[in-house]
Amino acid sequence: MKETVDIGKPVEFKCEVESKERATIAWYKNRIKIDEPRHYKQTYEGKTASLSIQRATLDFSGVYTCEVTNQFGKDEVSATLFVKEPGMKMPEIKDVEMRKATPLEPMAVFEMEEPQKKTAEVKKVVKKKKKVPGKAAEEEEGTPEKDKPSVPEIQADEEPAKTGGRAPVTVVKEPTPEPSARKNSLEPPGTGSRRGSASNLMPLAPPSRRGSITLVADEKGLLTDDKGNVKKLRPGEVLEVRQPRRKASADMRRASVSEIEERIDKPSTPLKAIPEDEESPPSIVDYQENVTAVEGATAYLCVQVEGNPPPEFRFYKEGSEIFEGGRYKVVTDGETNSLYFCIRKAKTVDEGRYKIVAYNKLGEDSIEISLFVSDESGMDFRAMLKRRQYAKWGRGEGDPDWGNLKPGEQERRPSVGDLKKADFFVKKLEDQHIKEGRDKKVRFEAVFSRSNVKAKWIKNKQEIYMGKRYHISAQGDLHVLEINNPTMDDEARYTIQCNEATSVAYLEVDAPDPVYKIIKKLPPRVEQYTVKEAVLECTCNSSKAPVKWYKGNQQIQASDRYVLDSDTFGHKTLKIQNCRLDDTGDYTCKINEEEKTTTKLIITDQKFQFMRPLKSMRVLEKEKVVLECEVDEYDATVKWFKGDQELVKSKDKKFDITQEGRKRRLIFKSAKLTDEGEYTCKTNDDTTTCELIVEPGNKFVKRLKDTSAVEREQVVLEVELQDKKAPAEWFKDGQPIKPSKDITIKSLGDGRHQLIISNCKLEDAGEYECRSKELSTSCRLAVGEGEKPPKISRDKTEFSGNVNKPLTAEIPFAIPGTKVSDITSKLLRNGKPIMAKDIEVVVKNDKVVITFRKPPREASGDYELCLGNATGEDKMKLNFNFIDVPQPPQGPLDVTDIFRDRCKLSWKPPLDTGGLPLTHYMVEMQDTGARGGWIEIGTTENTNFDVTGLVNKKEYKFRVRAVNARGASDPLATAKPIIAKDPYDEPSKPGNAEVTDWDLDMVELQWTKPEKDGGSPITGYVIEYKDKFSKEWSKGAELGPTATKGKVEGLKEGVQYEFRIRAVNKAGPGEPSDPTKPIIVKARFVKPFIIGDDLRNIVVKKGQTIKYDINIGGEPPPDIKWDTNGVEIVGSKK
């Protein structure tokens, strides 16, 4: 079905569905499932399935398939949609002529020169075409018809060829102008033909086995082919059309879209021989000429074939043979007699013409299929147009120059700028085909028309840069890309771009050669029994690993006894059926001489063992007897014996021998007294024996049983005989029993007989027997000691635990004799029962459990436990100690002997140590002036502590904690902080410090004593000095406690100094005195002097200032006088 609509019109596909079971619908476009609800609307109402398109565009053109699936199978139907421009009319076929094929002769093709003059009948129009680099010659249009070489019409003979071959079909457009220039396919690329000369002869394609058909187009060059597609022929275009292939002789259903997509994961099934009754050459009866695949998905080339014997296949791409392996996989389907050539992870480099050749011993058949690979957005129609074949049109030999596809730009007269020669690649990139692991480097080279142009390299759509794997270089006009150690991930389209020019090449990387290894070897030794199946298995790294099995040096071939198997996980298995002793030997699984694994197979006869032995039985006459045992294997054989005589089935059927699974039975339907004896069952390696005792008809229906009793209890021994009138006698330890005060014998008349012992004693214990003629039954009577008062174990009387944590104390006890009465318990403290809810007392079989749930410290102390029963009681003292942290030490916390760097602490022990001895006291200190908290400064086992390391004049607090094994108590702290200082202070500063004399290197000073000595006598004075402009004071002299004068020596002449004095006592240096006035160290008396001769003659203008600088000296400072011309100058405003 074909449907044609205009752009923008709605389209709807409908199909009727008949299915008794629930069916699912799936729609496909060009074999790709439709999952876009935005553009398509799918509905299914049980009987009608529809697919709607609201606004059709050119992208919606294609083949649409509806696939119906239910639990019994699948079916599908297809339709073709063609979307055309509004106003486009579909042409009609003017003339269709069927002719028979004749052999074709080679035809000479000539190039004709342009005529010198124009004719009146035909108006010549010549259009020049811009040269494109790489073209051999310019192409011209509008050649007059009379200059065109005639094309001979091909006729067919009256009768078809006997071989049934096919001849090519030529589609001729009349009239058809011939291109002015043509390339010879035999010439190397880049060479052209000179005008006026004849080119080499070009033989046509060899005759085909199908008849030819000639289609003549109308005057507009339009025609409709045999498939209903409208085509417009270009000048010189020839289409090779064959008659339809014959239908398949067998009714084979074409696989659905989803089935095709699953083929690559399914195993191949062998093709059938069609026809079955006679041999015939291969014939490809069904295929698709154009196949589209999505990039990255699997591409499938499918053909349906016939032939007897079933054909084999060869595959070609663009004339080069390709083989299965890597991304290529071949799958055959015997159900539909179809072949699938699968290409995994299809790429753009996979596009092209593929040829499939089917052949057998009688002949061959071949077809060509075009594969197009598009991205996920849809079909690449421009790529499809690139693949069109032009047999006689010279421009079809290369890729059409699409240029700018806008007609308005093509008709515009070119400007001067447009005629500027564009840059191009003199040498383009070339496609590369390598193999991973074999080729260590790939090199792409391109030569640009200009030198020193920066190039950009692109892999697919991603730019690549210089790195470890990519080496990019450029030298002049040569550009090189090298890829080191290429892998299959490097397979892509590589583009080089210089300015606006580009060149493209494809890199195809084949998968590396597989390396087969045995990753799990055979076990060193395998043992099996005869008649069993032995399985030898190893694992290879690939299911395709070719392995062979050997016994010794002899290769093992598949047979009924030897099964060779493998699976998709690489497991290789040898199964030996029905093993024999001669199967013992060395077995090897071998890939090659280096890769193999060997095991030792040992076959032995199986030894059968008894899993459950026979059991001895005591029965009465005429009862059914079943002697049963169980063996370890179902097929184990056994033999039965009575004594030393083997039991064999006889005609009188006294017994029966049966087996069920692993159970073996010897059955007596009615036992006799003569059947009594020892029976044995034997295998080939084991034996089991039992004894059968057959008693007369009277029997004990109820027999005596062993009985236990305690003192003071009543014991009743009872039997029951089948014969109700039979007498019974009682015996103890073989002696008859006579009735007495404590013993009573009763016969109840219904076959029951009783022996009653009242107030049982220890001496009544023994073996009792009841006899009735030759029948007897016996039992043993055990008499235990009677109940006595409880006795509490004294092994542990003291218990301890943590405060507020559960504590459980278990106190064992024993009750001599046999317990009869209940036990009572009481827990006493200070002679009174404890009724607290937090204490629980539970009596168990042999112990008393006392539980304190959350005991406080006050619960510690002595307790008393009382246990009693009906015969008396027992008491025991207990002590419970509940451990806690100690109480705080007793205060106050005294601080004594306070000095500037130390003090002493003392306290009293705590009243309660928490049930544990104290380990130590922890002393902590806090500096009230610092931001930190309390810090531990030491521990002691005594109640006093010496604190050291205090800082003078700082304020401190102290606290003490008592510590035991459970933890530390709350702290005992000082009542108030203390200040670290000595009991005395430093002296105050000395007064009236002044310099009294000086010289070149010394100064003498005097001062008065300080007003306060700080509470400690002054021990001396220290004189300090410094340079006037310095900040640091230096020690000059140290003097005695009574000094008020002093001298500082060793000073530098000419330096200005300051001095001060400090008083020192036991507390250290006191506050310094006020510094003296600065004084320059120099000689005390010096004659006046003038330095230099700076009084010189000078000349100045009137009104200017006259100035002399004269340096003078002397000690004490001299007086200075100025005079001019002998007259003293007195100071004034001038």
* Alpha-carbon dihedral sign for residues 544, 549, 553, 556: negative
Of the candidates 600, 591, 593, the one whose C-alpha atom is nearest the C-alpha of residue 539 is: 591
Show the tokens assigned to 592.
Answer: 């090659």
Return the pLDDT at 370. 92
Does one domain contain both 637 and 591? no
Check residue 159 and give its pLDDT. Answer: 37
Establish if 190 belongs to a structural domain.
no
Contact 877, 829 (CB under 8 A): no
Measured CA to CA, the distance from residue 375 to residue 13 in angstroms comes to: 26
Is the per-residue pLDDT at 171 higher than 60?
A: no
Res. 812: pLDDT tops 70: yes
What mean pLDDT do residues 700-723 have? Answer: 88
The average pLDDT across 551-566 equals: 93
Could you tell me if residue 648 is inside a domain?
yes
Asked if residue 364 and residue 262 are part of one domain, the reply reads yes
pLDDT grade for 420, boundaries at 50, 70 and 90: low
Strands 991-998 and 1002-1008: antiparallel
Query: Each residue of 182-211: pLDDT tens digit?
Result: 333 333 333 333 333 333 333 333 333 444
- Name the domain count of the chain: 8
Tokens standing for 141? 């249009």
Residues 533 and 630 in one domain: no
| pLDDT value at 747 more than 50 | yes
What pLDDT score was predicted for residue 1081?
A: 84
Which pLDDT score is estimated for 845? 84
Q: Do 872 and 918 lie in a common domain?
A: no
Neighbours of 49 (CB within 10 A): 22
170 assigned to some structural domain:
no
Find the mean pLDDT for residues 280-299: 89
Decide the pairing of beta strands 729-732 and 766-772. antiparallel
Residue 165, CB half-sphere, CA atoms under 13 Å: how many? Answer: 13
- What is the C-alpha to C-alpha distance for residues 1028 and 1033, in angstroms, rounded to an integer? 10
Q: Pick 102 or 991 by higher pLDDT.
A: 991
- Same domain flag for 635 and 684: yes
Q: What is the mean pLDDT of residues 521-543?
A: 92
Instruction: Tell me: pLDDT of 287 over 70.
Output: yes
Widest CA span of the chain, in angstroms? 191
Single-letter amino acid, residue 439 = D
What is each CA distance from 29 to 33, 91, 1090, in whole angstroms? 6, 26, 122
Residue 292 pLDDT greater than 80, yes or no: yes
30 pLDDT band, cuts 50/70/90, is: confident
pLDDT at residue 112, as a whole number: 37
Q: Is residue 360 assigned to a domain?
A: yes
> Does residue 686 share a domain with residue 713?
no
Cα separation, 511 vs 323, in Å, equals: 12
- Predicted local distance difference test score (pLDDT) of residue 196: 37
Owning domain of residue 32 = 2-84
Mean pLDDT calculated for residue range 1024-1038 = 89
Identify which of 538, 573, 540, 537 has the alpha carbon closest to the alpha carbon of residue 558.
573
pLDDT at residue 705, as a whole number: 93
Cα 989 from chain centroid (whole Å): 84
Residues 435 and 503 in one domain: yes
| Section 133-162 average pLDDT | 37
Give the mean model confidence (pLDDT) for residues 1088-1105: 79
pLDDT at 336 exceeding the cut of 80: yes
Torsions phi, psi for 1053 (to 5 deg):
-70, 140
Residue 217 has a pLDDT of 53
Give pLDDT tens digits for 861-874. 898 989 888 888 88
Instruction: Based on the fold, state whether residues 869 and 898 are members of the same structural domain.
Output: no
- Reply yes or no on whether the pLDDT at 824 is more than 90: no
Q: Is the pLDDT of residue 293 over 50?
A: yes
Would you say how long the chain is, in residues?
A: 1134
What is the rounded CA–CA span in Å between residue 302 and residue 342?
9
| Percentage of the residues of the chain whose pLDDT score is greater than 70 | 79
Q: Residue 611, Cα to own-chain centre: how many angstroms?
A: 49
Phi/psi at 962 (5° precision): -90, 135
Has residue 149 been placed in a domain? no
Q: Contact, 986 vs 1065, CB < 8 A?
A: yes
Walk across the sheet containing 729-732 and list its strands: 707-710, 775-784, 766-772, 729-732, 735-736
Q: How confident is the model at residue 1109 (pLDDT cuts 50, 70, 90)?
A: confident
The more confident residue out of 546 and 131 is 546
Q: Over 80: is that where the pLDDT of 94 sits?
A: no
Q: Measured at the alpha carbon of residue 1035, what is the angle toward residues 1034 and 1037, in degrees to the nearest 5?
A: 145
Taking only the tens place, the pLDDT of each residue in 876-931 is 999 988 888 999 999 899 999 888 889 999 999 999 888 889 999 999 999 988 88
Last residue in a domain, options 646, 674, 695: 695
Of the ranges 84-98, 250-264, 554-568, which one carries the lowest mean pLDDT score? 84-98
Domain membership of residue 999 (yes or no) is no
Residue 557 lies in a domain: yes
- What DSSP element (H or E) covers 658? strand 656-660
pLDDT level of residue 1086 (50, 70, 90 thresholds): confident
Q: Which of 232-241, 392-401, 981-990, 1091-1100 is most confident?
A: 981-990
pLDDT of amino acid 144:
38
Q: Which residue has the higher pLDDT, 143 or 518?
A: 518
Q: Which two tokens stand for residue 256?
A: 């659905």
Comparing CA positions, the residue from 580, 547, 583, 551 lying closest to residue 564 is 547
Q: Measure the CA–CA gap between 957 and 974, rounded to whole angstroms.
A: 6
Please tell me whether residues 11 and 58 are part of one structural domain: yes
- Using CB atoms within 10 Å of the CB of residue 800, give its burial: 0 to 12 exposed, 13 to 18 middle, 19+ buried: middle
Which residues are bridge partners to 75 per DSSP?
68
* DSSP sequence for 841-873: EEE-SSEEEEEESS--GGG-EEEEEEEEETTEE
Whether 359 and 273 share a structural domain: yes
pLDDT at 138: 37
Q: 406: which residues sit within 8 A by CB, 6+ positions away?
A: none
Residues 732/766, Cβ–Cβ less than 8 Å: yes
**Residue where a domain terminates, one of 31, 55, 84:** 84
CATH value at residue 277? 2.60.40.10
**Cα–Cα dist 991/1008, whole Å:** 5
Q: Using CA atoms, how far apart are residues 595 and 1044, in angstroms rounded to an integer? A: 112
Write the CA distances from 185 to 201, 240, 394, 884, integer angstroms. 10, 18, 10, 110
* Overall average pLDDT of the 362-385 stretch: 74
Q: What's the CA gap between 920 and 136, in Å, rounded?
A: 111
Q: Comparing 607-611, 775-779, 880-884, 1096-1100, which segment has the lowest mean pLDDT? A: 1096-1100
Q: Which residues contact 895 (CB under 8 A, 6 or more apart)?
A: 903, 904, 905, 958, 974, 978
Does residue 145 have a pLDDT over 70? no
Q: Confidence class of residue 18 from pLDDT cuts 50, 70 and 90?
A: confident
On whether both 319 and 265 belong to a single domain, the answer is yes
Least confident range from 63-67, 158-162, 419-423, 542-546: namely 158-162
Residue 459: predicted pLDDT: 92
Overall average pLDDT of the 536-559 stretch = 92
Residue with tokens 């583009």: 495
Cβ atoms 299, 31 nearer than 8 A: no
pLDDT at 820: 77
Token pair 């043509």 is at which residue? 182
Q: Identify the weakest region by mean pLDDT among 196-200, 327-331, 675-679, 1097-1101.
A: 196-200
Worst-scoring range by mean pLDDT, 95-109, 465-479, 877-891? 95-109
Render pLDDT for 431-449 as a digit per residue (tens, 0 to 9): 999 998 889 999 999 999 9
Return the pLDDT at 906. 94
The H-or-E segment that residue 926 falls in is strand 920-927
Q: Report CA 706 to chain centroid distance, whole Å.
A: 68
- CA 146 to chain CA mean position, Å: 77
Compute CA 629 distance to the chain's CA centroid, rounded to the nearest angstrom.
55
Residue that wins the pLDDT comparison between 151 and 580: 580
Q: 936-970 pLDDT, tens per residue?
A: 999 999 999 999 999 988 999 999 999 998 899 99
Same domain, 644 and 746: no
Give the single-character DSSP code of 408. H
Whether residue 386 lies inside any domain: the answer is: no
- pLDDT confidence band for 536 (50 / 70 / 90): very high
Output the CA torsion 429→435→438→444 (10° steps). Answer: 10
The chain-wide mean pLDDT, for the chain, equals: 80
Residue ending a domain, choose from 954, 980, 1006:
980
pLDDT of residue 531: 85
Amino acid at 608: F
Q: What pLDDT score was predicted for residue 160?
A: 35
**pLDDT of residue 348 exceeding 50:** yes
